[in-house]
């Protein structure tokens, strides 16, 4: 986290990048957002049943705007009651102007997600599954949309929503019960600031 703050501080000291020689609109930005994140955990009743994990976190991103497209990557870590979840994605957004300082985007994200179970019975099934600290990971994929407000040449505000389907699943085995737990999705709402350079 400290490295992200140092990077954002350095970006403030850099001059704004001029348009490229071919006339295209190219610029980089580093961003940080506060987020609220929710995921659905699905399992059979013997494993504890279904639950919805929700927590607030911080989303870090790097973005490049070129023409009417924005390309980038982001990372978030969330601490649910059931598990700690890390997700890293790359994305492409189609960006359109909605006035002098407003624009909106619609895009798609893909990447990798991982959970680390927080206890031996994370879904409260009443069984000792011995999964505390175990990890499970897989692909994530989904749409994203949001809006941008230009504050200065260097600073813009971004708000957005992202829905990711995940392939994350893990096998729980105990003395009296066993089965598969699936992390069905991750839904994320965020608002924050991008520093352009």
- At 112, the pLDDT band (50, 70, 90 cuts) reads very high
DSSP per-residue codes, 123-135: T--SS----TT-E
Contact 197, 16 (CB under 8 A): yes
- Rounded CA-CA distance 168/165 in Å is 9
* C-alpha radius of gyration, the chain, whole number: 20
Mean pLDDT confidence for 121-146: 91
Q: Is 66 left (phi over 0), alpha (psi -120 to 50) or beta?
A: beta
Residue 171 has pLDDT above 90, yes or no: no
Each residue's pLDDT tens digit, 25-67: 458 999 999 999 999 998 876 787 788 999 999 999 999 999 8
Higher-confidence residue: 3 or 129?
129
- Minimal CA–CA distance to 95: which of 71, 68, 61? 68
Domain that holds residue 178: 2-196
- At 2, the pLDDT band (50, 70, 90 cuts) reads low
Mean pLDDT confidence for 171-179: 83
Chain-wide mean pLDDT for the chain? 86
* pLDDT reported for residue 19: 31
What CATH number does the domain containing 152 carry? 2.40.160.20
- Rounded CA-CA distance 19/100 in Å is 18
Higher-confidence residue: 170 or 48?
170
Residue 15 has pLDDT above 50, yes or no: no
Contact 85, 118 (CB under 8 A): no
* pLDDT reported for residue 45: 66
* pLDDT reported for residue 88: 98
- At 22, the pLDDT band (50, 70, 90 cuts) reads very low
Residue 95 has pLDDT above 90, yes or no: yes
- DSSP letter at 47 equals G
- Rounded CA-CA distance 3/53 in Å is 28
Residue 110 has pLDDT above 80, yes or no: yes
- Minimal CA–CA distance to 155: which of 1, 14, 6, 23? 14
């Amino acid at each position: 986290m400290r490295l992200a703050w140092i990077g954002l501080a350095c970006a403030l000291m850099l001059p704004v990048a001029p348009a490229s020689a071919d006339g295209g609109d190219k610029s980089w930005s580093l961003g940080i957002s506060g987020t609220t994140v929710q995921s659905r955990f699905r399992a059979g009743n013997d494993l504890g049943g279904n639950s919805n994990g929700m927590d607030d976190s911080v989303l870090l991103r790097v973005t490049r705007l070129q023409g009417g497209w924005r390309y980038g990557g982001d990372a978030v870590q969330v601490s649910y009651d059931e598990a700690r979840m890390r997700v890293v994605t790359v994305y492409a957004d189609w960006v359109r102007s909605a006035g002098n300082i407003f624009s909106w985007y619609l895009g798609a994200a893909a990447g990798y997600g991982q959970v680390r179970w927080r206890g031996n019975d994370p879904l409260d099934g009443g069984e000792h599954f011995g999964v505390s600290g175990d990890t499970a990971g897989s692909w994530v994929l989904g749409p994203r949309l949001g809006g941008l407000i230009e504050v200065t040449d260097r600073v813009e505000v971004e708000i957005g929503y992202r829905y990711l389907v995940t392939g994350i699943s893990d096998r729980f085995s105990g003395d009296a019960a066993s089965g598969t737990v699936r992390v069905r999705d991750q839904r994320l709402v965020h608002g924050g600031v991008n520093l352009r350079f």
